[in-house]
Amino acid sequence: MWDKQTATVEKENSSSGEAYKKYDLTKIEAPKFEMGIDLIDKLVSQGKKVLVWGMFVGTMQKITDTLNGMGIKTTLVYGATPKQDREGMINNFRTDNAQVLVSNPNTLGESISLHQTVHDAVYFEYNFNLTFMLQSRDRINRLGLPANQYTRYYYLMTKGDVAHMGFIDRIVYKKLKDKEKVMLDAIDGQLLVSEYTDDYLQEVKDIVMGRYK
């Protein structure tokens, strides 16, 4: 959502960044972040364990600190977490008192099964990589689950109005769905197709220039 406070910054100072120094940006929370925290709080209050996905270390750390500050037992496992500690931390989340696990697909995208005890995943951030997305989903959704066991994925998106567009969450999500459809169509048609390649830089340029719809 558009922050009216930003509109008060003088245009002549905006290019140098001097006008923003009076704001403590570390304490500014986006509505998407707040809604995500509220969603996790609601799920945990229902006795559910929650897997949270992010992409950036700063975001994951902020989520972890915020939830722990609320009394929600939260564990962060990411690239800087010593490998010898990860298994114990994950097991503590899977079977013990940890209520939320925060991670990213690079660290936790493969070989970890949480589907027996975790059925809710919240995505604060995601990129164009369909492989990462599919692998992250599989952490809580595997063959052998009871037929009546639900699995839910929550993708957080920032929305703007006509006058204040520029948020790319929906565009990135749509691109992921497009890639998934290509993959599923190939599987259904039993066709061998060339690998769906990712040109991240070009995709970002297309979004910035408004060429991707």
Of 101 and 193, the one with more pLDDT = 101
Domains and CATH numbers, the chain: 24-156 (3.40.50.300), 160-213 (no CATH)
Q: For the segment 140-154, what is each residue's pLDDT rounded down to a tens digit?
A: 876 666 667 788 999
Q: What pLDDT does residue 42 have?
A: 98
Confidence of residue 212 (pLDDT cuts 50, 70, 90): very low
Q: What is the mean pLDDT of residues 69-89?
A: 95
Closest CA to 40 of 115, 107, 120, 104: 120
Q: What is the pLDDT of residue 4?
A: 40
Looking at residue 31, its pLDDT comes to 84
Please determine, for residue 200, whether its predicted confidence score (pLDDT) is greater than 60: no
Is the pLDDT assigned to residue 176 strictly greater than 70? yes
User: Which ranges constitute the DSSP H helices of the chain?
Assistant: 11-14, 31-45, 57-69, 83-95, 105-108, 130-138, 169-188, 200-208
Q: Where does the pLDDT of residue 15 fall: very low under 50, low under 70, confident under 90, or very high at 90 and above?
A: very low
- Average pLDDT (67-78) is 97
Determine contact, residues 150/48, Cβ cutoff 8 Å.
Answer: no
CA dihedral 135, 139, 143, 149 (to 10 degrees): -130
Nearest to 97 by CA among 120, 121, 74: 74
Q: Is 168 helix (H, G, I), strand (E, B) or coil?
A: coil
For position 17, what pLDDT does the model report? 54
pLDDT confidence of residue 159:
73
Question: Model confidence over 104-154: pLDDT tens digits?
Answer: 988 886 668 888 889 999 999 888 777 778 788 888 876 666 667 788 999
Question: Is residue 2 very low, low, confident or very high in pLDDT (cuts 50, 70, 90)?
Answer: very low
Going by pLDDT thresholds of 50, 70 and 90, the confidence category of residue 5 is very low
Residue 163: its pLDDT value, please? 53
Q: What is the mean pLDDT of the chain?
A: 76
